[in-house]
């Protein structure tokens, strides 16, 4: 009885264990499989929903699915998760880059009353007062035996010995004086004429009397300073032969100096002669000096678009040194207009012709775009902005150059590459060339060979490119250049040179590099002649190291000769002939 119960118990335990091993593992595996499938399915669906595709060369392109870039035809690549599309001239920076460059932004608003009390600030430097400059010259011809003043900055007092000169003419004149002195009773006119001759050479009566009384001839004569001042330039050296009237040293009297400021074109109306100006220097930051505007340059500097505003300062204590930087403030010159926007001076990039700021276009992301603005008057450390910004715009006020550098590296519109983004056809149109009907006809006959060479580049067939380049070169060499101007000959000669380089080269990349220069010369000619058929001027912005390159085509459809199949449709039509 007990044995039966024991056997039954053992059988139940074994059965339960076998059942758990069979059904328990299957259930867990099924559960794990379901969980894994659900997780995989969830992740995949989430990835598909969020994944965007962009072009490595045109990051502004954002599409929800893979495909070709609508600009250059390259295969799109996966973009970062959550990335958003950017406008053509927008750039996006990372948070790390923003922090490292300490980029700060400010929301602009209407002008408010400031502590500057309407004072206009100018930057400038101290210059020598040219009205007080004098040149000490030699009064007679001779050789400088000794030069006592020989370095810039040396202080010279009136009557101080500048140099000693050996003068043969003066030696002869002394001998005449000694002879005339013995005849002054019988020939007083002759005696007087000889003395006047020496006086014209700036010899004093004391020196003339000493020669007459001693009866001896001096070989070396001194030259004395006629004014006091500081040596600004040494114009002769010891041992030099000098002519009568030749400068020896230039002296500047620094008892008064000029403070010269640069005023922008839009500030000219704020200043007038005899206007008071307060001046501070870095050397004496706690001192303020008062000057009076004495001159406003009537000619505008074309390079800087500024005029010189000059004030005269008294400098009897020798505080001002020529070359010292100064700041001037003119009180009451600025009239702040209602609804005028103001921006910090640190936000403005000035190129000489344009004033630029960077606007944060996305309040939640570090996305920026360059805006050109029109500046008004400067008041302290702020500018008035009359156009280009709106009230409430957020602009970069610290790290502006860093943002501009990032835009330039990304090929976007920036302070440095704005000029390169102009229309290529407009730049070529500035080349004024005129060709005869005979030249136009001969040149027109060479273009079919050029077009075949272009098609061979599209097909990436280096041997055919060489053959058609040689044929084009031969046709251009046969054209008469007798009636061409220098510029026209240069374009034609350079075109032939590039065609020969292409013909003698079997490397496709080198051929395409020469093709860039060829088109810079041959396309302007094609634009200036009478063509028998219609042509399109097309441009790839990525060719020539992202500088852009053009070519001629008979078809409006883009077939890129600089990249071939890699980016067959990259480019656009910029003009038609």
Range from 6-10, 240-244, 483-487 carrying the lowest mean pLDDT: 6-10
pLDDT band at 60 (very low <50, low <70, confident <90, very high): low
Mean pLDDT is lowest, of 42-46, 109-113, 162-166, 214-218, for 42-46
149 vs 183: which has the higher pLDDT: 149
Q: How far apart are CA 519 and CA 469, in angstroms?
A: 13
Residue 37: per-residue pLDDT: 45
* CA atoms in the 13 A half-sphere facing the CB of 535: 22
Instruction: Provide the pLDDT for residue 437.
Output: 84
Mean pLDDT, residues 481-485 taken together:
81
Share of the chain above pLDDT 70, in %: 79
Q: What is the pLDDT of residue 535?
A: 87
In eight-state DSSP terms, residue 362 is: -
Residue-by-residue DSSP string for 249-274:
EEEE-TTEEEEEEEEEGGGGGG--TT
Mean pLDDT, the chain, as a whole number?
Answer: 78
Higher pLDDT residue, 111 or 313? 313
Report, as an integer, the average pLDDT of 22-37. 47
For each of the domains in the chain, give its residue range(s) and CATH number, in order of start: 53-85 (no CATH), 104-113+336-421 (2.40.420.20), 131-252 (2.40.50.100), 256-330 (2.40.30.170), 424-576 (no CATH)
Backbone angles phi, psi at 127, to 5 degrees: -135, 155
* Tokens found for residue 293: 């505007």
Residue 56 has pLDDT above 70, yes or no: no
- Count of beta carbons in the 10 Å neighbourhood of residue 365: 13
Quickly state the pLDDT bin for 355 (edges 50, 70, 90). confident
404-429 per-position pLDDT tens digit: 887 776 666 677 655 444 444 444 54
Q: What is the pLDDT of residue 410?
A: 67
pLDDT tens-digit map of 307-325: 899 998 888 888 898 889 9
Question: For residue 453, what pLDDT is reported?
Answer: 92
What is the value of pTM for the model shown?
Answer: 0.42
Q: For residues 88 and 488, which has the higher predicted lDDT (pLDDT)?
A: 488
Dihedral angle over CA of 69, 73, 77, 82, nearest 10: -10
Q: Which of 45-54, 175-184, 294-303, 568-577 comes out lowest in average pLDDT? A: 45-54
Using only the alpha carbons of the chain, give its radius of gyration: 42
Contact 514, 547 (CB under 8 A): no
Among 63-67, 111-115, 437-441, 453-457, which is the least confidently predicted range? 111-115
Q: What is the model's pLDDT at position 343? A: 83
Q: Is pLDDT at 469 greater than 80 in this prediction?
A: yes
pLDDT in tens, 315-352: 888 889 888 999 888 875 544 444 567 888 888 887 66
SS3 at position 527: helix
Query: Does 169 score more than 90 pLDDT?
Result: no
Q: Long-range CB contacts (< 8 A, 24+ apart) of 474-481?
A: 475/442, 475/445, 475/446, 475/449, 476/443, 476/446, 478/442, 479/439, 479/442, 479/443, 479/446, 480/438, 480/439, 480/442
pLDDT at 22 over 60: no
- 3-state SS, 231-247, equals EEEECCCCCCEECCCCE
- Tell which residue, 255, 250, 283, 280, has the closest CA to residue 122: 280
The bridge status of strand 256-264 relative to strand 142-147 is unpaired
- Residue among 496, 498, 510, 499 nearest 462 (CA): 510
Q: Which of 155 and 78 is assigned the larger pLDDT?
A: 155
What are the pLDDT digits (tens) for 512-541?
888 988 988 888 888 888 777 788 899 888
Residue 489 has pLDDT above 50, yes or no: yes
Q: Is the pLDDT of residue 45 over 60?
A: no
């Amino acid at each position: 009885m007990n044995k039966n119960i024991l056997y039954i118990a053992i059988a139940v335990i074994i059965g339960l264990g076998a059942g758990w091993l069979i059904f328990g593992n299957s259930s867990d595996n099924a559960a794990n499989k379901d969980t894994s499938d659900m997780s995989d399915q969830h992740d995949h669906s989430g990835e598909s929903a969020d994944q965007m595709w962009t072009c490595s060369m045109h990051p502004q392109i954002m599409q929800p699915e893979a495909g070709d870039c609508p600009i250059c035809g390259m295969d799109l690549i996966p973009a970062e998760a959550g990335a958003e599309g950017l406008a053509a001239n927008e750039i996006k920076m990372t948070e790390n880059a923003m922090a490292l460059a300490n980029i700060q932004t400010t929301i602009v608003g209407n002008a408010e009353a400031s502590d500057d009390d309407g004072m206009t600030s100018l930057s400038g430097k101290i210059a020598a007062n040219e009205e007080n400059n004098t040149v000490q010259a030699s009064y007679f011809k001779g050789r400088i035996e000794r030069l006592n003043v020989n370095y810039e900055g040396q202080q010279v007092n009136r009557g101080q010995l500048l140099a000693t000169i050996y003068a043969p003419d003066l030696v002869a004149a002394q001998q005449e004086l000694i002879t005339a002195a013995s005849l002054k009773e019988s020939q007083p006119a002759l005696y007087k004429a000889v003395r006047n001759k020496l006086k014209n050479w700036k010899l004093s009566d004391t020196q003339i009397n000493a020669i007459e009384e001693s009866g001896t001839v001096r070989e070396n004569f001194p030259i004395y300073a006629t004014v006091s001042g500081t040596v600004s330039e040494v114009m002769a050296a010891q041992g030099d032969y000098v002519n009568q009237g030749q400068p020896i040293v230039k002296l500047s009297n620094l008892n008064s100096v000029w403070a010269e400021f640069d005023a922008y074109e839009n500030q000219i109306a704020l200043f007038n002669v005899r206007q008071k100006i307060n001046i501070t220097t870095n050397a004496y930051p706690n001192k303020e000096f008062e000057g009076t505007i004495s001159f406003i340059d009537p000619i505008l500097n074309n390079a800087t678009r500024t005029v010189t505003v000059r004030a005269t300062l008294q400098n009897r204590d020798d505080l001002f040194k020529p070359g010292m930087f100064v700041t001037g403030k003119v009180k009451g010159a600025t009239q702040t207009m209602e609804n005028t926007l103001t921006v910090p001076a640190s936000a403005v990039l000035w190129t000489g012709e344009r004033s630029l700021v960077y606007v944060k276009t996305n309040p939640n992301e570090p996305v920026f775009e360059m805006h050109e603005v029109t500046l008004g008057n400067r008041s302290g450390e702020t500018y008035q902005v009359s156009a280009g910004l709106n009230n409430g715009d957020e602009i970069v006020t610290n790290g502006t150059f860093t943002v501009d550098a990032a835009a330039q590296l990304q090929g976007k519109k920036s302070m440095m590459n704005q000029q390169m983004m102009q229309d290529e056809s407009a730049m070529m149109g500035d080349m004024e060339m005129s060709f005869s009907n005979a030249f136009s006809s001969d040149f027109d006959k060479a273009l079919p060979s050029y077009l075949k060479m272009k098609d061979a580049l599209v097909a990436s067939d280096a041997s055919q490119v060489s053959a058609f380049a040689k044929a084009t070169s031969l046709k251009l060499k046969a054209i008469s250049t007798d009636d061409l101007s220098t510029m026209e000959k240069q374009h034609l000669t350079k075109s032939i040179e590039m065609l020969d380089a292409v013909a003698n080269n079997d490397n496709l990349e080198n051929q395409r590099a020469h093709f860039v220069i060829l088109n810079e010369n041959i396309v302007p000619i094609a634009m200036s002649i009478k063509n028998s058929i219609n042509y399109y001027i097309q441009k790839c912005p990525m060719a020539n190291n992202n500088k852009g390159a053009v070519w001629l085509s008979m078809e409006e459809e883009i077939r890129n000769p600089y990249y071939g199949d890699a980016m067959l449709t990259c480019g656009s039509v910029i003009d038609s002939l």
